[in-house]
Amino acid sequence: MPERDELQVARWDAIRARIGERLRGMRGRSRSQAQLAWEMDELGFHISQSMVSRYEQGQGEVPLTLERMVGWALCCDALGSEHLRELLELGGYALPWTRGDMRQFDDLLHRYRALSRPDQMALRRRMLWHLVGLHPEPAPSEAPR
Amino acid sequence: MIEVRLCDDARRALRDRVRALPADGDARIRTQRMRALLQELGVSCDDKAEFEELDAVLLASANGTEALVAARLDDEQRAIAYARLLARMLADEFHAPLDAKMEYTEGLGAPPKSDRERERMVIALAHAILDGDLDAAPRPLYEDVPMFTLAFTPRSAARSTLGGFHLWSDFWYRRSNMYRRWRSRRDVSSAIRQVCTILTRVSVPAA
């Protein structure tokens, strides 16, 4: 486990049960933990089913990063949900988007549902960049030398 | 809520540049030119997207615009995909906060009925770009044209008539397959070019 300050540990201990509640709320009943873990793994997050389970029960040991929270919501089609808003607030994070914007992201994701699985994943990976407020990453061949 | 549109600056810059895009060379060279043009406009291009069905996607948000092109395409298909991305940028609208325009292989991935005409229009414009024959498409799509006004003074009549023609042509090009086919015929585009030249000459007061 990476080295963490006492205050950080204490803060995480104080909020992780509430974080778990919101994570469960985002996933809902229609999506299994295994499915969520698989989708997050496809997006490049190193999260297993047991980690999903532990975080949802408020037993995750390492604080969730902004990227993981957003990726979690992206896989649950819950970007515009109250759960994510509360989650970000608890974690002390902010995104450069309004609630309305986030709902439109969800709408866009629904439209992607008609695409094949690999195409959906490729698009979601790119969407994450935009969501967390990063400029598109240049392709390796065009990276500045 | 005010609708914020994305890509407007890039579109303006593209309108200034697209006419000068050479059409000679093989598919690989034409692709390189179109890719370079997009990059100059600030669009990040990735030719190695792992798409299975999609040919390309133009993804735009306040954080930037990126063109994702499927790695599986051959040179010819990649040139078509880039031409469609350019056409898309010229003729379509991108809505904030984030918009994605998807390009399928022609005939596959039928868009919803409401989008069908727009898709066909983008394809027709893409072919005009790829062939280096922009005259086969209405000018308002790729350059500034005179505006149609109701103030018909002797001096503005020719200019306003020209604006009216452009407006009419743009309207039908976006809505009618028959008009697009007719408009892309060489004799028709040549006749339209002559009419434009005459009306432009008449509308410019002699020095």
Say what the pLDDT of residue A145 is. Answer: 39
Say what the pLDDT of residue A70 is. Answer: 94
Containing structural domain, residue A104: 6-134
Cα B135 to Cα A75, B26, B97, B185: the distances in Å are 46, 21, 34, 10
User: Would you call A118 and B57 a contact, using CB atoms and an 8 Å cutoff?
Assistant: no
**Beta B64-70 vs B43-49: how paired, if at all?**
parallel
Q: Which long-range contacts (CB under 8 A, 24 or more apart) does A135-140 make?
A: A135/B44, A135/B63, A135/B64, A136/B44, A136/B59, A136/B63, A136/B64, A136/B65, A136/B66, A137/B44, A138/B44, A139/B44, A139/B45, A139/B46, A139/B47, A139/B48
User: Would you call B51 and A101 a contact, using CB atoms and an 8 Å cutoff?
Assistant: no
Separation between Cα atoms, residue B65 and residue A90, nearest integer Å? 31
Give the residue-averaged pLDDT of A116-132.
89
Tell me whether residue A17 is in a domain. yes
The sign one gets for the Cα dihedral A119, A120, A126, A130 is: positive
Query: Rounded to a whole number, what is the largest CA-CA distance in chain A?
Result: 48
Reading the block at residue A138, the tokens are 């240049």
* Contact present, B125 and B11 (Cβ < 8 Å): no
User: Taking the model in full, what pTM does it have?
Assistant: 0.83
Reading the block at residue B10, the tokens are 């890039």
Tell me whether residue A143 is in a domain. no
User: Would you call A136 and B66 a contact, using CB atoms and an 8 Å cutoff?
Assistant: yes
Reading the block at residue A63, the tokens are 């604080």
Residue spans of the domains in chain B: they are 5-130, 138-203
The sign one gets for the Cα dihedral A62, A65, A70, A74 is: negative
pLDDT lower than 70: segments of chain B: 1-5, 106-114, 204-207
Tell me whether residue A139 is in a domain. no
**Beta B5-6 vs B64-70: how paired, if at all?**
unpaired
* Contact present, A87 and A22 (Cβ < 8 Å): yes
Give the residue-averaged pLDDT of A7-34.
93
Nearest CA in chain A to B95: A104
Say what the pLDDT of residue B1 is. Answer: 40
Asked if ipTM goes beyond 0.90, one says: no
The SS3 call for residue A64 is coil
B44 touches chain A (CB under 8 A): yes
Domain count for chain A: 1
CA angle B23, B24, B30 (to 5 degrees): 65
The chain A residues in contact with chain B (CB within 8 A) are: 96-98, 100-101, 104-105, 108, 112, 115-119, 121-123, 126-127, 129-130, 133-139, 141-142
Say what the pLDDT of residue B96 is. Answer: 82
- How is B98-122 classified by DSSP, letter by letter? EEEEEEE-TTSSPPPHHHHHHHHHH
Cα B182 to Cα B76, B120, B145, B164: the distances in Å are 26, 14, 21, 19
DSSP code for B3: P
Tell me whether residue A145 is in a domain. no
The dihedral over CA atoms of B119, B55, A117, A82, expressed in degrees to the nearest 10, equals: -60
DSSP 3-state percent helix, strand, coil across chain B (nearest 5): 55, 15, 30
Q: How confident is the model at residue A2 (pLDDT cuts 50, 70, 90)?
A: low
Q: How far is A31 from chain B (nearest CA, A)?
A: 24
pLDDT for A24 beyond 90? yes
B53 touches chain A (CB under 8 A): yes
Residue range A31-46, pLDDT digits in tens: 999 999 999 999 889 8
Tell me whether residue A85 is in a domain. yes
Kindly report the average pLDDT of chain B as a whole number.
86
Higher pLDDT, B150 or A51: A51
> Which residues are registered as beta bridge partners of B46?
B68
